[in-house]
Amino acid sequence: MRTLIYVPIIHSIADMGSMAEELRNISVSVFGESEWQKHIDNVDGYWDTIEKCFQNIENTVQGLKIYQDGMFVDGEAALKILEEGVRAGSKNSEIISKLTDRGAILMKTENFNMVKAEYDGLQSVIKSKNKALKLILLFKYKISKPFFLIRRDRYIAHTIAETLGESETGLLFIGASHKIMKRLPKDIKVIDLNHWQRQATSPEIT
């Protein structure tokens, strides 16, 4: 039996890369500074909770395969992207970086062209200065987004099925809008992070 631990993620502003500042400005202009700060605090609190789940888990980290939302490379290139995320203040990247330091393996999870297509669609909305054009682009992006997600979900599920070996454990960091689980083979057992944490820290584990 193969096991996949599911970690639903919320993207922080640090995960947005070159779009971060523009996204912040748009959010503040629409919702106000105080609401934006509440959102930031909630996201930070969520990631603090996720981070605590990985504390004191040593026995099950070695050889753990990590599948990360948006990760379209592996090896040294993946670790470089991870380092950039840590420097930008991404808690998601920081948690994975600590796991790889302890022996976990960061996997190529997605297809570059599929990720780029969705990224370009969102970026075109954010960068547009013409209000009428921005609304058109936003409408186009909202119509296209479900199709982007379906393509990506199929690819991610296929990647996990092909690379997660018998008796191996994987860790999937993925946004809540993705629907990966229903696309996985039946021999992959999916459990949530809290359940895995309780198992990993049990005194019965040697």
What are the C-alpha distances in Å from 182 to residues 48, 94, 154, 178, 185? 28, 29, 10, 10, 8
What is the reported pTM?
0.84
Q: Residue 200: pLDDT band by 50, 70, 90 thresholds?
A: low
pLDDT tens, position by position, 70-79: 999 999 999 9
Mean confidence (pLDDT) of the chain: 86
What are the DSSP E strand ranges found in 65-104?
65-68
pLDDT tens, position by position, 20-29: 677 777 777 7
* Least confident stretch, 48-57, 86-95, 146-155, 160-169: 48-57
The predicted pLDDT at position 201 comes to 58
The predicted pLDDT at position 3 comes to 93
For residues 74-99, give the mean pLDDT: 94
The predicted pLDDT at position 60 comes to 62
Give me the sign of the Cα torsion angle 40, 94, 88, 179: negative
Q: Provide the phi-psi class of 63: left if phi over 0, else alpha when psi is between -120 and 50, else beta.
A: left
Residue 171 has pLDDT above 80, yes or no: yes
Residue 56 has pLDDT above 80, yes or no: no
Residue 183 has pLDDT above 60, yes or no: yes
pLDDT tens, position by position, 2-14: 999 999 998 887 8
